[in-house]
Chains A and B, each alone.
Chain A
């Protein structure tokens, strides 16, 4: 007999650090009208956490999502008033500071002090952990070049905090679907080895975690795949039932669309083997998934299963890499591409073997091309009349990389006719390597902001 417990509604109002910040109000209004739910914000791409760590290194009270205030301030009062818990990884490299900031926002708005929980243990900073990772990765990265090493935690700490009454849960690195699996586990109390239900909740989280990518964002091709009102796309709301089946919708009156084609693109987004989508809590299996339209802007996803979770946790290690130099100049009018190509050849000859250059002809051939220029070599100059030449190279030594900037700038006088609009930039790369770590070596935990903890 199917489980009869009432379903839970979970909405996502951010799909990455830098996403729109005005998506929360409409989903909160919809959740409030339905008697509550959970609001999640996903703000951590692979490198975001390392950038946050650099920010924390510079200021011990920073290192959390820079747009935290913009995300939380407009909706905190309504969430607390309408039994909507907030769960997010916006703690980034400094969850305690993010929690303190949210407490301060509540105080500034004269709201009752929320119960804020902090998830810890994702940062692998102690010497034994670092040694273990170093032995495992086998790459030549100097310890001092490492900016951050973090494990992807699962949903258990989030679920426990919510069960104990947390109204806001602030995490750093957790697997993106854990933001959804945590509230689902707190709500339904499934067993932690109920792999099929964990698999379904995980994929509900997967559908939510990129925000509007499941409600019409990142889909439109004018004339072929049109989507209405992308300037005010609604963020997604999932309704998850006690067996883990779920429907996806969006707030009334918002832009975008929810349909099978869009949902299928998001279901497969960043998936490799559909029968084995690895997360800390379960290996989800979407090989038999199906999607059907069940209403206007509403689809149902079924057929998902799951298998026993992996023994290890995924770890991302970010470290300082070489210097990336980029410089651009535009050529327009007759023979625009030929002039841009000539300019690229001039730069290449002057720099010679000192740097491996990538040459882009933006407006004719750029992002499709390969770094080695094989595709560009097989393609004749087009008739394009407005081309932007981009020259890029990377080098360990900043001064060597800077030659790209100088040689492209010098094209103003020394290059082909009519070049203009030079822009140059140089920045240090943040490189990343992924590995795994034994669960036993990671000390995941959680505590309330107002509690002392070891």
Chain B
């Protein structure tokens, strides 16, 4: 335990240093370029953050002070190091710090923002439309009708089923761990390999027309273009086949992601969700991606999904025991 606290304190200091280096903006930064003249974003990146998507209740500022952020991150690092009790089953299975999976050990995307949402300026989702409310009420109703979350595999979130990490979207947001990405740029194609679920996003940048509206995909259909030195990716053709959609969006969501390299070790990732069916106005979030460490290993989630099997089996076993315990009522 002591060792972990020491480690966490050391991490706290490392965070402070990292923080200073990220805020010393490279104002005269000259972005490296590829043979075709476009900025070079290639390499391994990590978008781990402690900043919530929506501004927490009780905070009405856009930014924290530097001292506040350093203090928060130190505290978070200590909390993560203490999340399990050594020698317990939980410790064996879920001690992220042991495997370097906790956020404090990742190349952190530090920023002073109180929320990733930058627009609306209050850091909150815009109000939902009536249609959006109806759509999400219908989804909630469908979930309820489907029964308890342990009744069937299909009642579980997509991440537990190894279909899509809800956070990876697109848009790509950080989860608790494995927030690693590799970008490769070939002429006419940018590929972003998302570590979680070995999800390959292949983005043509050659003006290829979008798919017909009748083709729907879980991760949508992405098209890229360059706006000066910014890579702009527009994604449409999302599916409505799941009960768990990105933050309540509809299948008609149009997502615009923008990547800009602002320093040697930072990409600014900014995305706008435009879904007039669900929200009264578009909303935008921004998070820095830090230079990460490669390589990315194969994340064969579905192939090793013992947890879903065990979770369902456990629920059936509980029901069986409950039936056996209960005295016959008739």
Q: Do the two chains bind?
A: no
Binding site for B on A (CB under 8 A): none
